[in-house]
Amino acid sequence: MSNQRPSFAKREREMKLKDKARAKAERRAARRAEPRSGHGPPIAAEDSGAPAASPAASPDATGASASTLPVPTPVPTRPR
């Protein structure tokens, strides 16, 4: 069993891995605590010159608005 490390070297290695994991967890926590900025320009307010009623928001011929219509489900594909 010449390929086994002495117990102290093993302990050092394990402690190094634990310290690295702890530091990574701290970086993640710090990143989550930061306020997030948007990934693009801010969306303008509704009074930015756009028409008052858009076709997507108005009811269609059946009286249902576009937001209440059911979403079509994707067609399942055959596994390869």
7 in any annotated domain: yes
On whether residue 66 sits in a domain, the answer given is no
Element (H, E) at 22: helix 7-33
Q: Output the pLDDT for position 2.
A: 56
Q: How far apart are CA 78 and CA 80, in angstroms?
A: 6
pLDDT in tens, 44-80: 766 555 555 555 555 555 555 556 767 778 887 877 7
pTM of the model: 0.39
- Please report whether residue 39 resides in a domain: no
C-alpha closest to that of 65 among 57, 77, 55: 57
44 is a domain residue: no
- E strand or H helix that includes residue 32: helix 7-33
Residue 62 · residue 70 · CB < 8 Å: no
Is 50 domain-assigned? no
Query: Which residues span the domain enclosing 8?
Result: 1-31
